[in-house]
Amino acid sequence: VDDIRNIVPGSKHSDGIDIYFLDNTKMFGGTAFSIPSNHLLVQGEYNDGTTTHWAGDTPVLLHEMGHCLGLMHPDRGGDCDELNSYGVCPNGTASGYCTGDHVSDTPPVNGTETSFNTVGVFATALPVANPNCATPEPCEPPCDEDDLAEAKDNFHQNKATWLEKKAAYPQITGEEEQEEALREIAGLRYHLNKDAKNIITHYRQDTLNHEPDSVLHWLALVETYPADYRLARHHFFTGKFYNFDHLWPNLAEQYGLDSTRLAEYNDLDEVFATLRPYLEGGGALNQLPKDTINSLLYWAGQCNEAGALARNLLLANGLRLEVKCTAAPPVERPAAPYGSQTTPASSAGGQGIRAYPNPTRDQLFLALPESAGQGQAVFYNLQGKVVQRLPLFGGLNRLPLPPALFRPGIYLLKAWQGGAAYQLKIAIH
């Protein structure tokens, strides 16, 4: 990260960012919604309301950040709180969605400690003490039993309070009271992440006294999207599809994913849909069929979780892809490697057209505007070749998908009707 430029159109903090300096008896008070959504800080330029100050090359962010509870792959960080803040990583690149929640996997650079002049910055004391702000950490995993028991107790107590305050928030009407409640909710969420990180890291590293399924147990308790994604992924790749189906389809609505994270979630959903028929048939992940590999190539060029998952699966099948991720999330999805001519299809849900079920097996229902007249549907594979053409009529159309033509994988459906054109991605089991 090179500099601080807190200039964000529409931000209520357009003149400066809220920074809270707290000692180890105060609860974390910097909430994610106080941080700009497309710029983050680091050389010490800030504004105290009247004057811009420059503190030189102050090493504010020295840790590798964004690895939520140690659960996300290093290709890109994940949101470690429920506020979906956008971040920039210390190497100067936007890793996508790393968040400043103090969860880190590496020590400070060269042991340097952060210092920052507090001109125009005022500490805010909050009512709940934060034992996790102590230095060093309460324990370095693997922890002894007393420290581990204390972390578990703290987690359960804070989670109960967190749930209570979240339930009470809709009844709060005053603006100041709402801001205070949000600070407390964010602080409690921070506590939960800190304790859960230590607990899960302990069970991951402690090979002598490992409790069976303890990592899965604590993943289920955390209640964040990154943790639940990791849990759903575990269920999927261990063949527990009932558990996967109970958890995965609800996550987008449960956590109110923003548009970028929702697009990634949809891509992951399609990766799972591509793999599932083969895995349900007892197939091995390192022996994927050619059609499945070709489908995975569609996502492998992306710098997000779906892309990383696709690349790992391809590597297990003897294909190593190196993708150079840009400093910001791409506006459009990169083209698939190996010369695929297919372009990503956009969702047509808001265009008066609906396709279901999706994923499907041998047929697809396509609902079109009644008054649009006759049209045509064309299915393409991910290499851009036409698989099938079918006529369309206004209203509900039943489109057969014969297995002789449609092997399991992802297909693009382009539909034309009454001068309008639509594109959809269709997953076939």
Q: Which of 156-165, 214-223, 365-374, 410-419 has maximum average pLDDT?
A: 156-165
pLDDT tens-digit series, residues 387-397:
898 888 888 88
- Per-residue burial over 221-260, b if 16 or more Cβ lie within 10 Å, else e, is bbbbbbbbbbbbbbbbeeeeeebbeebbeebeeebebeee
Q: Which amino acid belongs to residue 3?
A: D
Q: Is this structure's pTM higher than 0.85?
A: no
Residue labelled with tokens 């958890």: 247
pLDDT tens-digit series, residues 322-361:
777 754 443 444 333 333 322 233 334 445 678 888 788 8
Token output for 342: 């297919």
Distance CA 159, CA 307 (A): 33
Asked whether residue 283 carries a pLDDT value surpassing 70, the answer given is yes
Residue labelled with tokens 């999927």: 236
Token output for 64: 């590798």
pLDDT tens-digit series, residues 295-306:
888 888 888 898
Mean pLDDT lowest among 1-15, 210-224, 248-262: 1-15
pLDDT confidence of 139, banded at 50, 70, 90? Answer: low
State the average pLDDT over residues 300-321: 86
Residues 6+ apart with CB under 8 A from 238: none
- More confident call, 314 vs 137: 314
Asked whether residue 238 carries a pLDDT value surpassing 50, the answer given is yes
- More confident call, 84 vs 92: 92
State the average pLDDT over residues 69-79: 29
State the average pLDDT over residues 99-125: 35
State the pLDDT at residue 143: 67
Q: Write down all domains in the chain, each with its CATH number in brackets.
A: 1-126 (no CATH), 224-316 (no CATH), 349-428 (2.60.40.3080)
Distance CA 235, CA 63 (A): 31
Asked whether residue 310 carries a pLDDT value surpassing 80, the answer given is yes
Asked whether residue 403 carries a pLDDT value surpassing 70, the answer given is yes
Asked whether residue 131 carries a pLDDT value surpassing 70, the answer given is no
Asked whether residue 276 carries a pLDDT value surpassing 50, the answer given is yes
State the pLDDT at residue 372: 63
Across the chain, what does the average pLDDT equal?
65
Distance CA 414, CA 377 (A): 6
Token output for 360: 């499907």
| Beta-ladder partners of 409 | 428
pLDDT confidence of 255, banded at 50, 70, 90? Answer: confident
Distance CA 294, CA 417 (A): 30
State the pLDDT at residue 256: 86
Asked whether residue 46 carries a pLDDT value surpassing 80, the answer given is no
Token output for 28: 């974390």
3-state secondary structure the chain: CCCCCCCCCCCCCCCCCCCCCCCCCCCCCCCHHHCCCCCCCCCCEEECCCCEEECCCCCCCCCCECCHHHCCCCCCCCCCCCCCCCCCCCCCCCCCCCCCCCCECCCCHHHCCCCCCCCCCCCCCCCCCCHHHCCCCCCCCCCCHHHHHHHHHHHHHHHHHHHHHHHHHHHCCCHHHHHHHHHHHHHHHHHHHHHHHHHHHHHHHCCCCCCCCHHHHHHHHHCCHHHHHHHHHHHHHCCCHHHHHHHHHHHHHHCCCCHHHHHHHHHHHHHHHHHHHHHHCCCCHHHCCHHHHHHHHCCCCCCCHHHHHHHHHHHHCCCCCCCCCCCCCCCCCCCCCCCCCCCCCCCCHHHCCEEECCCECCEEEEEECHHHCCEEEEEECCCCCEEEEEEECCEEEEEECCCCCCCCEEEEEEEEECCEEEEEEEEEC
